[in-house]
Amino acid sequence: MKSKAPAVPALAPERPEAATRQRRKEARPQELLQAALELFVEKGFAATRSEEVAQRAGVSKGTLYLYYPSKEELFKAVVRQNLSNLIAEGLEMAGQFEGSSSELLGCLLQTWWERVGNTPAAGIHKIVLAEVRNFPELAQFYTDEVIMPADALFSGCVQRGIDRGEFRAMPVHEVSHVLIAPLIFMAVHRHSFGCCPVHGGVEIDPAAVLNTHLNLVLRGLEVRGAAA
């Protein structure tokens, strides 16, 4: 008579609390970056302490350091998530764009305002302008991760228009600065005067300023007779 093989015990179903902890762990880096962005914008980089970021994110300081070993690395991660990644997306989009160069510039500027200028991430520009001179390492990082890629993106789009006969021959890097400068101004305004309404001040409508700026620049760039 053959003996029966021992029954294999069924695996116990995953406990709900275990699944919740796993989801919480996966979401933790994003929660830390969100807390860091909020505090950096509210207090500035130098005045923000790592334990404050951990407390706002609901974790221990040790847990924060498991993901980001220093406040500098935390700031770099915030910049990469909110600015560097968007610029990389823009470069990819520009390489595949089939419309006119004027349409491409308009799309890039509008996307930047929707994804950065009109969000808390706009405060990164205020932090950099106010504090980067005291942190040379972060200055170099920001130059490498944001300034140079952004210049490559916009100057490349301008050169595209020149090569296609849509734009007049112009110094592309200078045009890039002209395109970007008002975006930085509106971002800084949002986190300075925009937070402190004053009587008699000049109201700024970001959408209207962006459209006017784009109109002025494109009318100056486009070969006479080109389509609007």
Q: Per-residue pLDDT tens, the chain, 228 aa: give them.
A: 455 555 555 555 555 454 445 445 666 899 999 999 999 999 999 999 999 999 999 999 999 999 999 999 999 999 999 999 999 999 999 999 999 999 999 999 999 999 998 899 999 999 999 999 999 999 999 999 999 999 999 999 999 999 999 999 999 999 999 999 999 998 888 888 777 766 666 678 888 888 899 999 999 999 975 554
Q: Is residue 5 part of a domain?
A: no
Q: Is residue 28 part of a domain?
A: yes
Q: Are residues 141 and 171 in the same domain?
A: yes
Sign of CA dihedral 149, 152, 158, 164: negative
Q: Taking a C-beta distance cutoff of 8 angstroms, is the pair 109, 171 a contact?
A: no
Q: Which domain holds residue 62?
A: 16-69
Q: How many domains does the chain have?
A: 2
Residue 101: give its domain's CATH number.
1.10.357.10
Quickly count: other Cβ atoms within 10 Å of residue 122's Cβ. 25
CA angle 5, 9, 11 (to 5 degrees): 145
Q: Is residue 64 part of a domain?
A: yes
Q: Are residues 138 and 110 in the same domain?
A: yes
By C-alpha distance, which of 21, 49, 18, 19 is closest to 36? 49
pLDDT at 228: 46
